[in-house]
Amino acid sequence: MKKEIVNELKTRFPALSRNEGTARAIAAAFAMQRDPTVKEIAAVKTAVSEAVTNSIDHGYRDREGFVEMTLRLFSDGTLAVHIKDKGAGIENVGEAMRPTFTTAPAEEEHSGLGFTIMESFTDKLRVRSAVGRGTDVYMEIKLKGKLPPDTEDTRDA
């Protein structure tokens, strides 16, 4: 069955640390329409938090800029989260995604586990980046919600 978009929300905010919590709360609120489980909401918040923190801390490390977050809900319950920045970009995405790889200075509390965490909390993760142009993180999380097993899903959102 081809999935259809049933709802969409776009936000754009300056790369300030305090906006990480705002983005996480917006994504969680958007996901609520699907009556998610506590575990699903935790996954949404964690994945968004890691991606947005990366844009703020690494993408815009030495510059100002904006982060764009687009949320889409599909008819089959898939939540798609797209987080984009126009910051520094990543030289080697494969290397950056390896557990414990970090370019952050030792005095900062970065353990190089953000992408690993995103991977474990999502059903799909795709990272595109170009040095000097920015980074684009696309994630999908399947929201199955609280319907009991073997119940036909007749929800339209």
Ligand X SMILES: Nc1ncnc2c1ncn2[C@@H]1O[C@H](COP(=O)(O)OP(=O)(O)OP(=O)(O)O)[C@@H](O)[C@H]1O
Give the residues across from 83 on adjacent strands. 69, 137
Asked if 114 touches Mg ion (CB under 5 A), the answer is: yes
Write out the binding residues for ligand X, residues 36-95 only, by CB under 6 A.
50, 54-55, 58-59, 85, 87-90
Which stretch in 19-27, 37-45, 108-116, 139-147 sits in contact with ligand X by CB under 6 A? 108-116
Neighbours of 124 (CB within 10 A): 12
Tell me the DSSP string of 117-149: HHHHH-SEEEEEEETTTEEEEEEEEE--TTPPT
CA nearest to 39, candidates 116, 156, 122, 105: 122
The answer to whether 52 and 118 are in contact (CB under 8 A) is: no
Among 73, 96, 141, 143, binds ligand X (CB under 6 A): 96
The gap from C-alpha 4 to its chain's centroid, in whole angstroms, comes to 20
Nearest distance, CB of residue 11 and ligand X, angstroms: 16
Among 17, 37, 92, 111, binds ligand X (CB under 6 A): 111
Write out the binding residues for Mg ion, residues 42-71 only, by CB under 5 A.
54
Nearest distance, CB of residue 53 and ligand X, angstroms: 7
Positions touching ligand X (CB under 6 A) are: 50, 54-55, 58-59, 85, 87-90, 96, 101-104, 110-115, 135
Positions touching Mg ion (CB under 5 A) are: 54, 114
